[in-house]
Amino acid sequence: MNVLHFVNAFFSDSAHWHGYDGIPGRLLEHVQYTLMALGLAAAIGLPVGLLTGHTGRGGNAVAFVATAARALPSFGLLVLIAVAVGIGLLPVMIPLVVLAIPPILVTTYEAVRSVDPSPVDAARGMGMHETGILFRVELPVALPLVLSGLRSAAIQVVSTATIAAYVSLGGLGRYIIDGLYQRDYEKVVGGATLVALMALVTLAVFWAAGRLAVSPGVRRR
């Protein structure tokens, strides 16, 4: 049997569309984990990246934190935290947030630092407050790169949130973990296909967000 046969068999089975283990429920759980982790990572990474990028201070610290966070294995961190605090949502959220912070933090910092200094100096010379300069001059120009950092983080979280199934939570990883345990490769392939489709949908969402949020002049640049 080839992969396409497994995919067709998985999605054509009505049992996979109903009940607590149905595709809609598992998809909703996966989206919830992703949004929670991405929201927490953005709440940490965006302010720090904007502040350090605007002031030009802390660039080395940003690089060090990002490198250290990227070096941590998500699954290993999940197991350690699960052993320390027990089964639950916390052992899943910490690795996902740690995974998502580096692309958001580094890209936001670099985006603000790459803004042409001429309009920034002009705004400062006109007496504009530093907060106004950041949010009204620098951020609109830096927004495409900031969104690209968020997009990268979202894709990584969507792909990695399958680890929630290792600590008895839900999400699309349930199909992969349970399928491997049961040697039900139809379920494994179906779960992997759903994760891949969700990653593609995430790309489309950020593309649409960029079209709506970024000014046409900046997009043309």
> Per-domain residue ranges for the chain?
3-9+24-220
Interatomic CA distance for residues 38 and 41, integer angstroms: 5
What is the distance of C-alpha 135 from the center of its chain?
23
**Better pLDDT: 221 or 185:** 185
The per-residue DSSP string of 146-214 comes to HHHHHHHHHHHHHHHGGGGGGGT--STHHHHHHHHHHT-HHHHHHHHHHHHHHHHHHHHHHHHHHHHHS
Q: Which conformational region is residue 66 in: left (phi greater than 0), alpha (psi within -120 to 50 degrees), or beta?
A: alpha
> pLDDT tens for residues 54-112?
888 877 888 887 777 777 778 778 878 877 877 888 889 999 999 999 999 999 999 99
What's the chain's length in residues? Answer: 221
CATH number corresponding to 3-9+24-220:
1.10.3720.10
Distance from C-alpha of 89 to C-alpha of 85, rounded to nearest angstrom: 10
- Of the pLDDT bands very low, low, confident and very high (cuts 50, 70, 90), residue 219 is low
* pLDDT at position 157: 95
